[in-house]
Homo-oligomer: A and B are copies of this chain.
Amino acid sequence: MIKTTALLGALLLGGASAVSAAEWQTLPDRAPEPADNPTTPAKVALGKMLYHEPRISANGVVSCNSCHNVMGGGDDNRSGSIGVRDQVGGRSAPTVWNSAFNSVQFWDGRAPSLEAQAKGPVTNPGEMGMKSWDEVIARLKAMPGYTEAFAAAFGAGDTVTVDNFAKAVAAYERTLITPNSPYDQYVKGNKAALTDQQVRGMNTFAEVGCVQCHSGAAFNGPQLPEGTGFFMKFPLYQNGVMEARYNFSADNGRFDVTGNEADRHAFKVPTLRNVALTAPYFHNGTVKTLQDAVMVMGKVQLNKDLTEQQISDITAFLNALTGEFPKIEMPRLPTLANQTFPFE
């Protein structure tokens, strides 16, 4: 909450100012990793299996990848994702791409790390719907291929645990980054990488104040220690027309996590990397286009009516944040003899 308050103060007091060239940051080629979970090939291999594993959902058809599709933009282009039994989730799935650069996870920041996040959806009744982690671990242990993969990643012994599950998934997710966007190429010196309009939009993005929150390499705020969180009240400026149209304030955001009144309607500042691919926009997915999202942000976060030209220019710039997606080999999921799902 310190962050929310601090940022809000800076925004109100400091006003808008252009970012100097030195402050435009490129996306690193490698994500930061916590000291207690270094990224290793064996962990990434296991995490990839688990991430694409539908058999750890109640009905055996929902995996992490169902809603955060790494074959696409890392989300599902929905306002609410579809969990087991066709249940529709309450918030729009954030992209998994570059999530390693968030210092907290989920729209409300309730997970202080990728590891903590990975423990959420599997046993969420509306998402993967497993009754308990005991049930998940039992299913994994029923598949010898997983016992082997956990041993390779975490050593022999009783290593098929929820903590190691989370570590492996997080290790895989730390490989899901998209460097070398046109923006990155431009910042590195290739001035032909952006169009004139995109350069104009980049400057406008800084001048009107977007960059005060959407700063840093991932455009999700300053680089903070994992677990810190960078939040902003949304909407910051109430606007009856916007509210009537998009219903933003129905969701109390981080308040529901902390119970702290200052957190009401506060949300994690999301990355803008690949934002052109992840419509619809905002926590409730009510805004269908990037143009409209830019207009909305001007209204409710900056209290400004951006001109059509500014909106178009900023949108063009945001399109330059689409990066290069790494080639990923499909995992081989453990197959097992003489077993019928759900292996009971």
Show the binding face of A for B, using Cβ within 8 Å.
52, 54, 59-62, 66, 69-73, 76-79, 82, 85-86, 276-277, 279-280, 285, 288-291, 319, 325, 327-341
Option from B52, B82, B291 in Cβ contact (under 8 Å) with A61: B82
Would you call A332 and B86 a contact (CB within 8 A)? no
User: How far does the alpha carbon of A325 sit from the alpha carbon of B336 in the complex, in Å?
Assistant: 15
| With A60-B82, A72-B332 already in contact, 15 other A-B pairs whose C-beta atoms are closer than 8 Å | A54-B66, A61-B62, A72-B335, A77-B336, A78-B341, A85-B86, A86-B86, A279-B337, A285-B340, A290-B337, A290-B338, A327-B329, A327-B330, A328-B329, A330-B330
Would you call B66 and A78 a contact (CB within 8 A)? no
* 9 A-B contact pairs sorted by A residue (CB < 8 Å): A61-B82, A71-B330, A71-B331, A72-B335, A285-B340, A289-B337, A290-B338, A291-B338, A328-B330
Which B residues lie within 8 Å of A60 (CB)? Answer: 76, 78, 82
User: How far does the alpha carbon of A90 sit from the alpha carbon of B337 in the complex, in Å?
Assistant: 22
Would you call B338 and A289 a contact (CB within 8 A)? yes
Which B residues lie within 8 Å of A76 (CB)? Answer: 60, 341
Which B residues lie within 8 Å of A328 (CB)? Answer: 329-330
User: How far does the alpha carbon of A82 sit from the alpha carbon of B61 in the complex, in Å?
Assistant: 8
Would you call B333 and A72 a contact (CB within 8 A)? yes
Closest B residue to A328 by CB, please name it: B330
Which B residues lie within 8 Å of A52 (CB)? Answer: 71
User: How far does the alpha carbon of A333 sit from the alpha carbon of B74 in the complex, in Å?
Assistant: 11
Contact A340 B71, CB 8 Å, known A82-B59, A329-B329? no
Q: Smallest distance from the beta carbon of A32 to chain B beta carbons, Å?
A: 25
Contact A71 B333, CB 8 Å, known A82-B59, A279-B338? yes
Closest B residue to A338 by CB, please name it: B289
Which B residues lie within 8 Å of A82 (CB)? Answer: 59-61
User: How far does the alpha carbon of A72 sit from the alpha carbon of B52 in the complex, in Å?
Assistant: 11
Q: Smallest distance from the beta carbon of A253 to chain B beta carbons, Å?
A: 21
Contact A280 B325, CB 8 Å, known A60-B76, A60-B82, A61-B66? no
Contact A333 B279, CB 8 Å, known A76-B60, A77-B340, A82-B61? no
